[in-house]
């Protein structure tokens, strides 16, 4: 095994512009994100200034139309940017993914007027978004949500509690799914709620195992009034919008997971080539070489899977099944690879002196968010059973 661990992967990117984009992201990551990641995660500090910088650099609206301030990039490129950011610090990579998820409803289903009014600030004007689907009593069974929006003249009045909201309490806008009609998926409508709306408040953020710099909080809607002009899509179309957003969002989670796994492999390789036992680098021992080989193989398989799903999406073809597979495989891979990285580092892997333990704690959440991996298996199985069972 070489005594110099590879620092990063070679990417096959479709254009010169996308290669420059990745170079820009690596530069920002090296200068502004990675050096402070461990300390700020420990302190639970959200790096808002990094998101401002990403917005100024055109990196908060990459997969969206440039006519509205987006970057016009294919998903294939956007996801590789997310992978780089996820490797630098998951709070940032996942934060960008959640922000994109929050923009999806308006970009895909808003009227021209709504898009012209709101999208430029959302995609490149420094605003930060959040996506509000989950509630205390409805997680995997999201269609049973209870937050209500009741029509009152030209307004809607929203009442209820959303749970687990990434950027809850610090976001500038919230894409909110609320019940406007019958029980079940057909009675749900999407709204764009400003962060400073009267009656909107956030609870103290959850105390989490990892990703402590990313605030996750309950949001209380106490008669929050929004004009009908902030309803996105048709009444009753909200759940379909939410699912469409999640298909794309899951690919973001998959890409972040591969970033976390790659960071863990880099760490393990660097350590294994430097650490000596029995008079030799531990990387010379077959027991560890096989483990490192498995880690690298999982990462490359995961990357290929999310890129395949992204290319289907870019080609306008169905990609839900592949997105669910990518989310499932890449996040399970990240969990396994980060556990193995801790093992490669031995006792040091179990301390905060090295990033391996943080990466392991961060990987766990990726198996849970945007549909747990049990739910991904349900989605995949439904597709296998044929269109009539979906």
Binding site for ligand FAD (CB under 6 A): 98, 130-134, 139-140, 164-166, 208, 216, 365, 368-372, 374-375
Nearer to ligand FAD by Cβ, of 340 and 362: the residue is 362
- Between CA 199 and CA 166 the distance in angstroms is 19
Nearer to ligand FAD by Cβ, of 76 and 370: the residue is 370
| Residue in 41, 84, 267, 370 annotated catalytic | 370
**Which residues does 156 contact at the CB level (< 8 Å), separation at least 6?**
149, 150, 178, 180, 191, 225, 226, 227, 228, 230, 231
Structure tokens at 357: 């333990």
Contact 179, 129 (CB under 8 A): no
Closest distance between ligand FAD and the C-beta of residue 280, in Å?
Answer: 41
Q: What is the DSSP string of 307-328?
A: HHHHHHHHTT---HHHHHHHHH
Nearer to ligand FAD by Cβ, of 58 and 168: the residue is 168
Closest distance between ligand FAD and the C-beta of residue 236, in Å?
Answer: 19
Whose CB is nearest to ligand FAD?
139
Closest distance between ligand FAD and the C-beta of residue 369, in Å?
Answer: 5
Residue with token string 């749970």: 163
Closest distance between ligand FAD and the C-beta of residue 322, in Å?
Answer: 20
**Which residues does 188 contact at the CB level (< 8 Å), separation at least 6?**
143, 145, 177, 178, 179, 180, 181, 236, 238, 239, 242
Helix H or strand E encompassing 158? strand 155-166
Is residue 370 part of the annotated active site? The answer reads yes
Nearer to ligand FAD by Cβ, of 59 and 98: the residue is 98
Which residues have a catalytic role annotated? 370
């Amino acid at each position: 095994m070489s005594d110099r661990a590879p620092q990063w992967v070679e990417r096959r990117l479709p254009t010169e512009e996308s290669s420059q984009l990745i170079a820009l992201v690596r530069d920002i990551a090296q200068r502004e994100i990675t050096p402070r990641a461990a300390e700020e995660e420990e302190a639970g500090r959200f790096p808002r200034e990094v998101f401002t910088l990403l917005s100024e650099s055109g990196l908060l609206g990459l997969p969206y139309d440039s006519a509205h301030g987006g970057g016009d990039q294919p998903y294939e490129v956007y996801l590789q940017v997310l992978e780089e950011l996820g490797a630098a610090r998951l709070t940032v990579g996942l934060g960008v993914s959640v922000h994109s998820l929050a923009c999806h409803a308006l970009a895909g289903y808003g009227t021209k007027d709504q898009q012209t009014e709101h999208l430029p600030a959302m995609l490149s004007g420094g605003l930060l978004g959040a996506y509000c689907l989950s509630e205390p009593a409805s997680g995997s069974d999201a269609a049973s949500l209870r937050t209500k929006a009741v029509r009152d003249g030209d307004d809607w009045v929203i009442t209820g509690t959303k749970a687990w909201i990434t950027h809850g309490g610090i976001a500038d806008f919230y894409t909110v799914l609320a019940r406007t009609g019958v029980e079940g998926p057909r009675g749900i409508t999407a709204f764009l709620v400003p962060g400073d709306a009267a009656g909107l408040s956030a609870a103290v953020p959850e105390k989490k195992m990892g990703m402590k710099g990313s605030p996750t909080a309950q949001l209380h809607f106490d008669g929050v009034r929004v004009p009908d002009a902030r309803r996105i899509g048709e009444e009753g179309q909200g759940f379909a919008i939410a699912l469409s957003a999640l298909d794309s969002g899951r690919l973001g989670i998959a890409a972040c997971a591969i970033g976390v796994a790659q960071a863990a492999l880099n760490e393990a390789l660097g350590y294994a080539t430097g650490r000596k036992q029995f008079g030799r680098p531990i990387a010379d021992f077959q027991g560890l070489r096989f483990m490192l080989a498995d880690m690298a193989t999982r990462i490359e398989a995961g990357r290929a899977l999310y890129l395949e799903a992204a290319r289907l999406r870019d080609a306008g073809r169905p990609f839900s099944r592949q997105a669910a597979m990518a989310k499932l495989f890449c996040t399970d891979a990240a969990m396994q690879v980060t556990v193995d990285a801790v093992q490669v580092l031995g006792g040091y892997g179990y301390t905060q002196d090295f990033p391996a333990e943080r990466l392991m704690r961060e990987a766990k959440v990726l198996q849970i968010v945007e549909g747990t991996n049990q739910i991904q298996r349900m989605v995949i199985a439904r597709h296998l059973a044929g269109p009539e069972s979906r």
